Structure formats: structure tokens, C-alpha cells
Amino acid sequence: MRLEATDLRVEASEGSHQTGLSTGEHALGSLAVMVESRVGPDGVRFEWRIANRSNHPVGVRSVAIVFTLSAAEPIRMWRHGYQSWSPSGLARLGVDRDPSAPGGIEVLRAAHHADQRKVSDPLALRSEWVTALTDGPAQVTVVGFEGSGRHDGTFRLVPDGPRLEAEAFLGDVILQPGSVIELHPLRVRSGTSRDEAVTLLEDWADANGHTAGARTAAPYQVGWCSWYQYFHAVTEADIRANLARAADWPFDLFQVDDGYQRAIGDWLETSPAFPSGLETLAGWVTGAGHRAGIWLAPFLVAPDSVVATRHPDWLAGRRRSDGTLSPLIVWQNPSWGGGREGLMYCLDTTRPEVTAHLEAVARALVQMGYSYLKLDFTFAPSADGVWADPSLTPAQRVRRGYAAVRAGAGPDAFILACGAPLSHVVGLVDGARIGQDVAPLWSLAPGDEAVPGYLDTQPSTQMAWASTAARAVMHRRLWLNDPDCVMLRTRHTRLRPEAATTWARTVGLSGGMALVSDDLSLLGHPARDLLDECLALGRDSDAAARAGRTPRVGNLLDAAMPTDMEAAGQRLEVDVSDGSSRLSRT
């Protein structure tokens, strides 16, 4: 396979423009794009920027370098998902489809893609931040953006040509006259064997971690989380009952998840199920010798929350057809209530008063004793909408929110990103969820699909396995990987013991964080033995990752879903159809 950069394309408010690509400055309407390319031992590196040369503001949706491909058939594309829960895996050009092709629901498209519009070509494939391409066993090419938080990077593989569009997605950002945006560099690297794909992805992750100042020094994380046993119905009594049993378990962290809060957005006030309040709760946890952790979705607010009702001007907006504004809806979860059947609004992170609020919330939680903050549903500020400062890209809106939380929490707090556009948070977070939610079942059937095209985004342990394997190279290079909780219980679950063992071994072999999320009263000696095995694997694999040797996946570009992972002298082979597996020494 050979890639040749041939064209430059801009999609802007004044129309779309395309021109041939060469080194230097290119005029595309009112805009100018400067491109430089360098060839070196690390491949071809493109450095580029866009400027408004006119005397009036211009909205810019995207800027793309277009590559023509000389390739045999079929072309395979390793697609990296947009955010924590977006699937990553192999797709075949002309066979597989983009999830948005059926249309789906806009709020779900906004959560799982940088560009929330439905793809115009149903045969086109896309990947976010990085991609790997192959057309045979003797060739692989990895193309990736280097940097975090200025803008999104979307790769579109289009059958016509075929061609690859490497797109700096700016999300209708407004460029004032004379303003310039330095775009993230783009690097193209090739190998002579598909087996080199993982090595090339490791190199890409190393470069990104170095450029963005990745926080990778936190210790290996072991703990307990309330979510997968109690979900929204968790009570103070549940927390205290498990805390009383936690002394017999090797937990450093003890994290309270969704369900404690009075309302989405009112994070410092508790529901009637937590009458003692957050500060007392943190005191119980730290008094028992654990670090206290708390969950929040910092950028979401319920319509009837105190924050939303007192500060309607803090909300991002959406332009109605009649020209008036309404609050921007970015998610729906009926279990949250909120006055509009679970519809959730988004805080406008481009407003200084909003970032000051986020900083104050984080500071208050840390002062109460919570040194671990799990930030969830953090894709919210990336959605198309009306924002107070339209000069910020969607990536900058997300990163500004995270930066405010980090400023309030301080440098020593552990911040976990979840539901996060992963390219936006390097250098600000200590850990990141890198897969879909697990579930007390292995896999989903086609009839379980809630929204056409997005079955693979729904909670299942099978998809969590696939994403954990696909993103293994990110551990200790960009952050600590969070593969999600192990599932140890044998009651109140549809996960067969063999699949539960596979998942515990996966979490361990990944080297990533290991959290239990079961009612500890349901767990006996077999569960403890399985956790001990998980942690032994995890500590060995994490130690190897600290030395630069993250887990290796052997068939990343051969199978729709990986079937093996190897680390620290151990190899796990998984039957993805039923969750059974075999662990052996290498």
C-alpha cells in the first residue's frame, strides 16, 4: 500500500474548497492553509496551520489533507473510537459500515463521533485520532495526529479513489480576521508486515504522551466501586455495609458512584438515600484506611437542578428553527429524572463563570476528603451548539472543562476520565476508561440493539474485552488504562464463571486498574482467589508497562475482534463467541 498526499480540503461557512497539495501556503476562499512536510526515519510528518486572511469572521468545520491510496483489495482499516465507550476494531472497506450510516439518533452520534452528522457516503469508514491500514500481510501504515486538545482528528476512508482524508475537525469554530490555528501535526509511518502494527501504534502513543506531558506516574490502582451491583439505587447503608467488609480485601481505593447526588449537576448535595452527607461519607472511607473516590458528570446538568435553575445563562444553547435559543440537550437517562424524562443539558465551558464553578466543585470535593474523582459523560461539551465563545473548538471546550477540574482538585488528586473524547485529555488525567461498560453478561444479540448501528457501544463484557485489547498500547504511555470493573459474583449475574474468569484475567493482563464492583457479602473464597490471580497478573504486567512493554495483541489487523493478548510472560487466548479462554506461559 502506498499513500500519496495529493489534495487539501476546507469545509467552511462560506463553502467548501479543495486544491492540490504542495509545500507552502494555499488560498482556499478567505482562508489560508500553510503545510510543511518532512521525511525522516519516523516517517512523513506534516505540520500545518490555518489562518483567516479576510476582513470578516469565517466559520471553519474542518481542514483535511487528502491521500490517494495505491492498494490491493481488500483494504482493512483499524478504527479507533472517539471516546471511552466507542468501539475500536477492524473494518473492511466496501463491506463494513460506519455506525452512523443508518441515521440513528443525533445525541448518540454526537457522543460517539467528533462530527455528529451522518456520513454522506454509507460505504465510508472513519477512525478518530489514529488509524492503521493494511491491504495484505506484507504492509501496514499507521497515520495519527500528535497532540491533545486543540481539535479533533478524524480519518475518513472513502471507496472513491480509494482515498484517506486526514481531517482536523474544528467544529464550526469562528476564525476572526487575522487569527491563526496551529493544527496538530500528522505523521504517516509504514511497516513491511502487519505484525508491526502494534509497534507503530506504541510509537504513536509514546509521541503523544511526550508531547502532551502525560501523567503516568500514579501507582497501580486497586479498589471497590458501587456501580455494577447497586447502580442508581445505591444507598448510604450499602456503602457502609461494604466498607465494613473491605478490610478483608486488598483495596486502596473505595469509590462511590452514581446515585448519591441530589441531582445531576448538584454534586455537593446528597439525595435522601445519603442523609449523612458527603463529608461524613468521605470520613468513614478514609477512617477505614482507604482513599475516598467519588463519581460526577461535571458538564451535565438536569433541567430541575439548582445549577440550571439559578444559572440558565450557564447552559450551552441550540438554535431553534425560528431563531430563538433553547438549552442544548446532550444526553438522556430516564433514571436520572430531572424534570424532562431524563433529558440533560450541558454547561457552557467557554464561560469563565462555568469554569470557576467547576474548579470550586472539584476543590470542595477534595477538601472533603475525596482524592479520586471519576469524571463521566465528558463528551458533552463537544456537541454542536451555541457557545458563548465560538472561537473555541469542541476539543478545546472539553479540555477547558477538564483543566478547570484539575485546577480545583490540585496536582495530587487522581482524575479518571470516562465517556471522554480520548484525544482531548492527555496530560490532565491520571487514568482513562478505554472501553465500554462491562455488564453481568458476556455478549449482546442483534435484537438487543437499542439504536441501529450502535449495538457495539452498549454495555457488554465481550466489547469491553475488544476495546481493552485494542487500546492496550495506551497504558502508561498516555495515562493508566481503566478497563472497567472485574465481575466476581456468581449470583445476580448472567456472566458464566468461565467468562468471569476470562474478564478478570483480561483486566490483570492489561496491567490496568483493577476495581471490584460486587456486593462483598456475595463473594466467597473462589472470588477472592480470582481477584488475587487478577492482581498478580496486573502487577507484573503493569511493571512491564512502566518499562515500556505494554501488552501485545497478535491479530489486531486480522480479525474483527482480537482473540489474544500477551504480557509479562503470559498469553491469554479468548474465544470471543462465549467468553471462555486459556491462559498459558510464553
Residues forming the active site: 376, 437
Give the whole-angstrom CA distance, residue 285 versus residue 370: 9
Output DSSP code: residue 76: E
195: number of Cβ within 10 Å? 16
Quote the cell numbers at residue 349. 465551558
Quote the cell numbers at residue 344. 440533560
Q: Are 314 and 347 in contact (CB under 8 A)?
A: yes
Cα dihedral: 393, 131, 87, 527 (round 10): -120
The 3-class SS string of 453-496 reads: CCHHHCCCHHHHHHHHHHCHHHECCCEEEECCCECCCCCCCCCC
Give the whole-angstrom CA distance, residue 352 versus residue 387: 12
Burial bucket for residue 8 (CB in 10 Å: 0-12, 13-18, 19+) = buried
Q: Collect all residues with Cβ–Cβ distance below 8 Å to 387 and sequence separation of at least 6.
A: 316, 317, 348, 350, 397
| Closest by CA position to 100, among listed 149, 151, 154 | 154
Give the whole-angstrom CA distance, residue 224 versus residue 515: 5
In 196-348 the beta strands, taken as DSSP E runs, fall at: 222-225, 253-256, 261-263, 266-270, 291-296, 300-301, 317-319, 325-327, 329-332, 343-346
Give the whole-angstrom CA distance, residue 525 versus residue 157: 50
